[in-house]
Amino acid sequence: MSVDAARPAPVMHAWRHPAPKGAAGRCIGARSDLPVDRRKAKRLAHRIRAIARREGLPRAVATSPLARCRDVGRWLRRFGFQHFVDARLVELDFGRWDGRRWEAIDAAEIEAWSADLAGHAPGGGETVRALLARVQAVRAQAPAVLLVTHGGWLSAAVWQGLGEAPGPTASAWPKAPGYGRRVVL
């Protein structure tokens, strides 16, 4: 066994963005660039800064390009962090579902997605399999930065950490962490 193979996987610290304005009851994905209250973005940035200081974490953050994540990164930049935007951190693309109220989406379409969570593209958008590939690409690169991303992205990362096979099912898919919560990967 090589030394590299014995080395433990790097730990990544990721936070879910604050609650966006206007999201209640709606399917919100990669195409919905909803704002967050600036006080909530600043509050999460303060929390991340305090944890980074206390735990000796990097003073660099990568965020999704969507405002609900990017705004936290901007606050962290004001606090002396490096801020990078990484499109791979964006939420699942729900296609034509994005921004619609959940009750307005045809139940048969939701059933089709639930029946084939990994391979069905909800609303003609992105498959969970494609989301998992994006997550894996970030994790394989193991950036020495903190992450601010989305609930679906974090659920995919948690799924990968479980080492489940052959693919995710709707019943076994991890619940998204709460807004502003940290996930250690």
- pLDDT band (50, 70, 90) for residue 165: low
pLDDT > 70 fraction of the chain, expressed in percent and rounded = 93
Q: Is 104 helix (H, G, I), strand (E, B) or coil?
A: helix
Distance from chain centroid for Cα 19 = 13
* pLDDT score at 8: 52
* pLDDT score at 3: 41
Instruction: Tell me the whole-structure pTM to 2 decimals.
Output: 0.92
Tokens of residue 151, six digits: 């609930």
- pLDDT band (50, 70, 90) for residue 163: confident
**Cβ pair 150, 65 in contact under 8 A:** no
Number of domains in the chain: 1
Give me the CATH number covering residue 17.
3.40.50.1240
Which residues, in sequence order, are CB contacts of 183 under 8 Å at separation 6+?
13, 14, 15, 16, 154, 157, 158, 177
d(CA 137, CA 160): 12
DSSP string, 20-79: BTT-TTB---TT----B-HHHHHHHHHHHHHHHHHHT--SEEEE-SSHHHHHHHHHHHHT
pLDDT, averaged across the chain: 93
Q: Could you give phi then psi for residue 63, rounded to 5 degrees?
A: -130, 160
* pLDDT score at 24: 96
Q: Which residue has the higher pLDDT, 143 or 134?
A: 134
pLDDT digits (tens, 9 = 90+) for 39-49: 999 999 999 99
- The conformation of residue 152, written as its DSSP 8-state character, comes to H
Quote the domain boundaries for residue 123: 3-184
Distance from chain centroid for Cα 87 = 11
Tokens of residue 154, six digits: 């974090």
Beta bridge partners of 184: 13
